[in-house]
C-alpha cells in the first residue's frame, strides 16, 4: 500500500505537478505521423499531459504543436486554416507559426507593435517510429531523442497501434511490470497454468529506468529468466517473439494513450507475425473505426463471455491480451486508491518500482533531478535466457540486453 500523499505524487501529471514536470523532461508521443501527412493539411486535436493542443504540418513540412486556445479570445485553433507556414484562427485571423510566434495579426493596425507581444504555447516535435513526439519541458534542457530500437528500424519491420485506457498512466505501467498476473489474468488454459508462478523477481535500477527480471528455477540447475526493460518515463520493452514494446503516454490524470508495438529488427514482419494483432493473445486492440477506443470497452464490459470464462479455456472470458490488461486496470478506478492494497511477496517488483519512481519525483521536487540519460541508453533489448541458477541476474543483464550492432 501507499500513503494517499505518495499516491497523488505518483499519479498526477498536469502542468505544475511534480510527476508532470518529471515526465515533461522526456519526449512524449502525441500522434501517428500519418495523421498530419500532408503539408498544409487539416490540423489534428491532441490531448496530452492534461493539455489541449493542436498539431499541424506547415507548408515547409515542419511540425507545429500549439495550444488549442487562440490567445486573442480563446477560440479553438482546431478549426483554423493551415496555410503558408502557419495556422490561422478563423475568428479574427490571427496566425501563428510552428514556434508559436504570431506572424500575422490583421485585426490590429500594424503600427501598434501589438503583434510582437503575442505568443502562443508551442512545443518542439520530432518524428520517429511512425509517430510524432513532443518535448514539453523547459526549453533549455531538451534531451537527446531516445534511440528506442523500434523507432530506428524500417517501417515494415514494425506494427504500431494505440488505444485509450480509461485510467491513470501508472496503472498501465504497473500492470506492465506486474509479473505475477501473467499466469492468471492471461491464463489461456486455466487448469494447466494457474499456480505456475515464477519464483524470483528482480528489479535492477539503471540511469535509463530499470530492468525487471522474472526467473523460474528448473530442475537441471538452471534458471529461465525473462528480462523486460522499463525506460524512463513510460516505456516497456517486452520479452516476446516478435519483440514488442508499450508506451503509456498520459492523456490526463484519468486517461492514458497506450501505444503497442510489435517489431523485428532484422526483417519485415510477415503476415504470420501480424496475426498476433488479431489473435487471442495479441497485445493490440481492434478499435471503433475512426477512434482510439477499443470495440471491447468498459461500456460493453469488454464483451466478457461468461461461458468462455467457465469453460477453462480463458481465465477472464475476454478476448485479447490487451483487452484483458485494459479491463482489469480500468476496473481499479480512474486513479487506483493504493491506500487500500495488501501487497505480498509476489508484488515485490511493484513495490520496488514505486520506490524508484517516488525517489525520482522527490528529486524533482527538491530540484536535484539528474538530466535524462543520453539517447543511446535507450538501445536496450528485452531478453529471455537460461543461466546457471547461482549466477546473479544483475550481473548478466549488460551482456544479455544490449542492442546488437546491426541495428545502428
Provide the binding-site residues for ligand FES, judged by CB under 6 A: 70, 72-73, 75, 89, 91-94
- What's the closest the beta carbon of residue 336 comes to Fe ion, in angstroms? 15
Q: Which residue's CB is nearer to ligand FES, number 10 or number 102?
A: 102
- What's the closest the beta carbon of residue 208 comes to Fe ion, in angstroms? 22
Site for Fe ion in 324-353 (CB under 5 A): 325
Sequence-distant (≥ 6) Cβ neighbours of residue 291 within 8 angstroms: none
| Among 94-102, 158-166, 318-326, 374-382, the segment contacting Fe ion (CB under 5 A) | 318-326
Q: Which does 142 bind (CB under 5 to 8 A by kind): ligand FES, Fe ion, none?
A: none
- Residue 299 phi/psi, 5-degree rounding, is -65, -30
Q: Which residue's CB is nearer to Fe ion, number 252 or number 325?
A: 325
Q: Which residue's CB is nearer to Fe ion, number 36 or number 328?
A: 328
- What's the closest the beta carbon of residue 132 comes to ligand FES, in angstroms? 24
- What's the closest the beta carbon of residue 67 comes to ligand FES, in angstroms? 11
The grid coordinates listed for 334 are 480512474
Q: Which does 325 bind (CB under 5 to 8 A by kind): Fe ion, ligand FES, none?
A: Fe ion
Which value, to the nearest 10 degrees, does the dihedral of the CA atoms of residues 333, 288, 178, 398 take? Answer: -140
Handedness of CA 46, 48, 50, 53 (dihedral sign): negative
| Size, binding site for Fe ion by CB under 5 A | 1
Does residue number 252 form part of the binding site for Fe ion (CB under 5 A)?
no
Q: Which does 45 bind (CB under 5 to 8 A by kind): ligand FES, Fe ion, none?
A: none
The grid coordinates listed for 326 are 485494459
The Cβ of residue 127 has, within 10 Å, a number of other Cβ atoms equal to 16
From the CA atom positions of the chain, what is the Rg in Å? 23
Give the three-state DSSP class for 225.
strand
E-strand stretches of 100-157: 102-104, 124-128, 131-135
Contact footprint for Fe ion (CB under 5 A): 325
Amino acid at each position: 500500500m501507499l500513503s494517499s500523499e505518495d499516491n497523488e505524487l505518483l499519479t498526477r501529471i498536469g502542468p505544475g505537478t511534480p510527476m508532470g514536470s518529471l515526465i515533461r523532461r522526456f519526449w512524449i508521443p502525441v500522434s501517428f505521423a500519418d495523421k498530419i501527412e500532408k503539408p498544409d493539411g487539416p490540423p489534428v486535436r491532441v490531448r496530452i499531459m492534461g493539455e489541449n493542443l493542436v498539431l499541424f504540418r506547415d507548408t515547409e513540412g515542419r511540425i507545429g504543436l500549439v495550444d488549442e486556445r487562440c490567445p486573442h479570445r480563446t477560440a479553438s485553433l482546431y478549426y483554423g486554416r493551415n496555410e503558408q507556414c502557419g495556422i490561422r484562427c478563423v475568428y479574427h485571423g490571427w496566425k501563428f507559426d510552428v514556434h508559436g510566434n504570431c506572424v500575422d495579426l490583421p485585426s490590429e493596425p500594424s503600427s501598434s507593435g501589438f503583434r510582437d507581444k503575442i505568443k502562443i504555447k508551442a512545443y518542439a516535435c520530432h518524428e520517429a517510429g511512425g509517430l510524432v513526439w513532443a518535448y514539453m519541458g523547459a526549453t533549455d534542457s531538451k534531451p537527446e531523442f531516445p534511440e528506442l530500437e523500434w523507432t530506428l528500424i524500417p517501417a515494415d519491420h514494425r506494427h504500431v497501434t494505440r488505444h485509450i485506457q480509461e485510467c491513470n498512466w501508472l496503472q498501465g505501467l504497473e500492470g506492465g511490470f506486474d509479473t505475477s498476473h501473467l499466469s492468471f489474468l492471461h491464463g489461456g488454459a486455466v487448469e494447466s497454468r494457474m499456480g505456475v508462478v515464477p519464483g524470483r523477481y528482480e528489479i535492477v535500477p539503471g540511469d535509463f529506468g530499470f530492468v525487471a527480471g522474472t526467473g523460474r528455477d528448473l530442475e537441471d540447475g538452471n534458471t529461465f529468466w525473462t528480462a523486460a526493460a522499463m525506460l524512463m518515463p513510460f516505456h516497456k520493452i517486452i520479452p516476446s517473439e516478435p519483440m514488442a514494446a508499450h508506451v503509456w503516454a498520459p492523456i490526463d490524470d484519468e486517461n492514458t494513450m497506450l501505444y503497442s508495438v510489435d517489431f523485428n529488427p532484422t526483417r519485415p514482419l510477415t503476415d504470420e507475425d501480424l496475426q498476433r494483432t488479431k489473435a487471442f493473445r495479441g497485445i493490440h486492440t481492434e478499435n471503433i473505426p475512426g477512434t482510439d477506443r477499443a470495440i471491447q470497452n468498459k461500456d460493453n464490459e469488454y464483451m466478457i463471455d461468461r461461458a468462455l470464462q467457465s469453460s477453462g479455456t480463458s481465465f477472464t472470458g475476454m478476448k485479447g491480451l490487451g483487452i484483458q490488461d485494459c479491463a482489469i486496470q480500468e476496473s481499479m478506478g480512474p486513479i487506483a486508491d493504493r491506500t487500500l492494497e495488501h501487497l505480498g511477496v509476489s508484488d515485490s517488483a511493484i513495490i520496488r518500482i514505486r520506490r524508484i519512481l517516488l525517489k525520482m519525483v522527490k528529486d524533482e521536487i527538491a530540484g536535484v533531478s539528474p538530466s535524462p540519460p543520453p539517447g543511446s541508453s535507450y538501445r536496450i533489448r528485452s531478453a529471455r535466457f537460461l543461466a546457471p541458477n547461482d549466477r546473479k541476474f544483475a550481473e548478466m543483464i549488460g551482456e544479455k540486453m544490449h542492442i546488437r550492432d546491426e541495428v545502428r
